[in-house]
Amino acid sequence: MLIAFEGIDGSGKTTISTRVHEELRRRGVKSYWTTEPTDGPIGGMIRDVLQGRMEVDHRTLALLFAADRVQHVIQLESLLEEGYTVISDRYLLSSLAYQGCDLPMDWVREINRWALMPDLVVYLDLDPVVALRRIKGKQLFHSLHKLKLIRTNYLNLIREEEWSSRTVMVDASKSEEEVFQTVLNIILKKLRVIL
Ligand code: TYD
């Protein structure tokens, strides 16, 4: 099963997804945690852009995210075949929600056509004002206006038929413990169905 954690910056994806991963392992589930952008060479280029060390056009950045994902998917496919439950901190919906702000959504979908659809998307929903308060460092996407647009994109996307059936929306304004328990229960329920 491929589980993607999604949400705007500051929504707590990394904290919650790593805790869930550790708890699944503790319970004997063969869980693998991964992230996008990846730590591969293309992910490295993406981080250079995000951290201002390299400047590229929006289209180039969208292609870099898509290319990074193609390489990631090859790796994910073998992990899934080996029976791992894979948890990805960000995945395809991040490109649609983020790059979809600057570029035609259909094109962003097209360049991501090779991405495997996730079995479950955990969308951590958070008010951008609260998210900004949580974010410490500054990065390319961290302006209130931008975060509002990204959240609107996420909310619209997860209403689409393709996504609504595989997405659960979780209120990320709750305490870390509450969010963690809610997400863990959702995933355990799903896994019991599959295992
Ligand atoms: P991430 O490593 O999740 O940043 P952080 O840990 O600071 O939340 O992601 C880096 C940034 O890349 C984040 O602002 C979202 C953006 N992003 C995209 O725009 N498109 C994508 O396809 C992905 C995977 C991430």
| pLDDT tens, position by position, 72-109 | 999 999 999 999 999 999 999 999 999 999 999 999 99
CA of residue 13 to ligand 1 center, whole Å: 11
pLDDT of residue 140 exceeding 60, the answer is: no
SS3 31: strand
CA of residue 163 to ligand 1 center, whole Å: 20
CA of residue 48 to ligand 1 center, whole Å: 12
pLDDT of residue 139 exceeding 90, the answer is: no
Ligand 1 pocket test, pick from 5, 6, 9, 122 with the greatest ligand atom count within 8 Å of Cβ, gives 9
Cα 120 off chain centre by = 11
CA of residue 33 to ligand 1 center, whole Å: 16
pLDDT band for 148, please (50, 70, 90 cuts). very high
18's tokens: 């790593």
Q: What is the pLDDT of residue 193?
A: 73
pLDDT of residue 173 exceeding 60, the answer is: yes
CATH numbers and ranges of domains, the chain: 2-194 (3.40.50.300)
| Angle formed by the axes of helices 58-81 and 41-50, nearest 10° | 140
Q: Whose Cα sits closest to atom 9 in ligand 1?
A: 37
pLDDT of residue 135 exceeding 90, the answer is: no
- Ligand 1 closest atom vs CA 66: 22
pLDDT of residue 138 exceeding 60, the answer is: no
Q: Which residues surround ligand 1 with Cβ inside 6 Å?
A: 9, 14, 36-37, 50, 65, 90, 94-95, 98-99, 139, 141
Q: What is the pLDDT of residue 195?
A: 60
CB contact burial 4-22 (16+ within 10 A = b; e otherwise):
bbbbbbbbbbeebbebbbe
Average pLDDT over residues 24-52: 97
